Structure 1
C-alpha cells in the first residue's frame, strides 16, 4: 500500500447519512460506546470514518475505522493492517492540519 495525499481524498458523509452525527458502537462484550463522527473520506477505492468518543478529553486521539458495505448494510470495522492504519492516520492529519 502506498502513502496517500490529501488531494487523493474525497470527503464523504456515508456514516453521518446512515446514523447521524453520533454513532453507537458495541465492543465484543456488548458494551456500547458513543462516538461523534469527525470526518469521513474515500481514498484509493476504500472508505474511512474518523470517530471521537463522545466524552473524550481534548488530549485523546480519534479512532479510525474502515467503512465496509455488505449489501445495503454499512459497517465500521477496525483496521487490522498496521501499514494501512498508519497511511490513513497520516492522511487524516494532513486533511486536518494542512501545512
Structure 2
C-alpha cells in the first residue's frame, strides 16, 4: 500500500479532483475494475507482480480495454524497459 499512499498524498497536495478507484494486488481485480469503469484511467503497475501474470502482460490487457489510459510501470528492473516497447504497450512512463 506504499504506492497507494504516495498517490493519495500527491492528489491531496495538488488538490486534484481525482480518486483512486482500485488498489489491489490481484491482476484479475484490476481487469474487472477496468471493465466496470469505462473511463480513461491512470495505471501504476509493477513489472514483477510475483504471480502467474506479469505486469507487462497485464499492461497489454489493460491497453486493449482502455486504449487511451495512461500506464506507468514502477520497477527496480530498469533492464526491462525495452521489453515494454517490444510488447507495444505504449507506456506513459517507466
Q: TM over 0.5: same fold?
A: no
Q: Normalising by the residue count of structure 2, what TM-score does the alignment of the two structures yield?
A: 0.28
Higher strand share: 1
Q: Normalising by the residue count of structure 1, what TM-score does the alignment of the two structures yield?
A: 0.27
